[in-house]
Amino acid sequence: DDPDVGRALEALQKRAYKPEMDQYFHYMNYYAMQAHFQAGEQAWSTWHPRVRDLLLESQAADGSWPGWQEERLNGPAKCYSTAMGSITLEVYMHYLPAYQR
């Protein structure tokens, strides 16, 4: 119910968004997805399709997401990106019970 939360969500929604796979891309998307889900159906319905499509378009044929910098195709960054991409797409399924609505 805090008005700052609504303003923060609006600022995220207005942001020019590109899948520039840097080290913060998946971290930001995961927590932004959580915040929009917790905020309710209106916030969720505007945010979820946008991020879902962005993630699915950047997903590799083998189901993974690329890492960044020197570990773009292999290594820990690819594992992290794949794990975060997966759980970001599954926020609404409540697999991680810490953020249930």
* pLDDT tens-digit series, residues 5-19: 889 999 988 876 665
Q: Please enumerate in sequence order all residues whose Cβ is within 8 A of that of 84, keeping only pairs 6 or more positions apart, or say none.
A: 26, 27, 29, 30, 65
- The pTM score is 0.80
Q: What number of other Cβ atoms are within 10 A of residue 86's Cβ?
A: 16
* pLDDT tens-digit series, residues 36-68: 998 999 999 999 999 999 899 989 999 998 887
Question: End-to-end distance of the chain based on CA atoms, in angstroms?
Answer: 14
Structure tokens at 43: 């916030």
